[in-house]
Chain A
Amino acid sequence: MSWDWTAWLGAAAIALIVATIAIVIWVVRDLRRR
């Protein structure tokens, strides 16, 4: 069995970084509005 999951793992890691940055920006904007 040889399947290369490298691409999926890398995509998950990058998605996690992007999602984290997105939510931090979202929170900061939310706090500023108040």
Chain B
Amino acid sequence: MTLPLFVGSLVSTWYGGLLGVTEIAFTDGVASWLTQGGFWYASYLLFAALLAARITRSRQLTLPDQVGLLHGEAARRLATWVNFVNVLPVAYVLALGLLIQLVSGLPLWLATGLGTAVAVSYSLAGGFRAVVYTDLLQFALMCIAVAVVMLAALLRLGGGGFLEPRLPATHLRATGALGPQELAVWALIALSTLIDPNFYHRCYAARSPRVAVGGIALAVGFWMLFDVCQVFGGLYARAALPHADPRKAYLMLAFDVLPAELRGLVAVGLLATVMSTIDSYCFVGAMSLSHDLFARTLRRRAASHTGLVRLTRIGIIAVAGVAMALALLFSGSFKTLWKTFGSLNTSALLVPMLFGLAGWTPPGAGVASMVTGAAVTGACATLRLLGARWAVSLEPLLAGIAASVAAYLIVALRRPRYEPR
């Protein structure tokens, strides 16, 4: 992939969460620029500085491969499953369904099904190449759509004079009403960039390490502009439609402030945003089924290339199906969904990955830290849900990360000697 394609494809894949970010801006205010923006820019740049060139050179196709290289076969298998759960595009499938429902009035299940079917069909027909090319078109539509909504809101509603009296005071504070624990959790979730399969896949496909590093830096510039429009779009929605469903408020604002001729363009832009993310996640999820699970774990090395391609296609349908089922079962907010999935994934993979990349890979430590991290996060999240008093005030991810570090250190230090890999 050349630099322009790399930037276009990376930017549009990463930002499928439009309705999620505007939901969080609606409820948390400007602080969402920090939790969904600032923390992420820092970790993208960290990724570019530490990892991008390394991945491009390492020729490890997927994230589990990289984990396996550092911590061995058992860790690779575990990472395959964590990765698979993480790339299920549940929030995005839900966003797509809500969007189509709002535009067409169809019932949610039908809207979700139709939208997902379209996103899946062109991935099936064209493979990774189609995903990259459609990403570019979607990227342009998406950026122009959010910019147009921002401009329309400014012109129709006014600037600070409109927002300030209509927003809760904390909405304009940099950290809003968020406590230090919640901020720390979002900072850690942002660090999950370091273990994001889409970033891995794009860096692997980059033509050279230079393309990967420069591309990420350029993409961060785009994201900053895009985030301003998203976050303030969410704030305008809060000010103009304070009683709307936070998940849909941004869309309703867009339709309110835009002239009829532009509504179509924006609807297509928003659809594009969500679809470009769904197709990429389905593809990465299917790759994890066909490449990591089938070819590697089940040791079907004899599987031919055509066979693997067919498996990837079946995988895309399977991933989309599971994501759709979960999206329809799920009735909470994007924020909850992201935080839960993000916390589980980060607590399992972040610690072993960071130690591993630092070059310290004692045998067994990676697996121990993955299992402990995910188990403690899962347990705390469950207890929190059940209403245990101490658990309510503790963010599950913080407990999970602490446990993951502890497990890594205990296993590493319990073995007096080990052979460096």
Contact = CB atoms under 8 A, between A and B. Distances in A.
Interface of A: 1-7, 9-10, 12-17, 19-21, 23-24, 26-27, 30-31
A19 B7 contact: no
A31 B186 CA distance: 38
Interface in B182-234: 221-222, 225-226, 228-229, 232
B225 A30 contact: no
Contacts of A17: 143-144, 147-148
Contacts of B164: 1-2
B140 interface: yes
Interface stretch (B154-162, B350-358, B391-399): B154-162
Interface residues of B, number: 29
Interface string B229-247: 1001000000000000000
A6 B7 CA distance: 29
Given A4-B160, A5-B159, A16-B225, A23 B7 contact: yes
Nearest to B163: A5
Chain A at the B interface: mostly helix, strand, loop or mixed?
A: helix
B229 A13 contact: yes
A4 B159 CA distance: 6
A15 B151 CA distance: 11
A14 B232 CA distance: 14
B202 to A, nearest CB: 15
Given A16-B229, A23-B7, A6 B154 contact: yes
Nearest to B11: A23
A9 B140 contact: no
Interface in B132-189: 136, 139-140, 143-144, 146-148, 150-151, 154, 158-161, 164
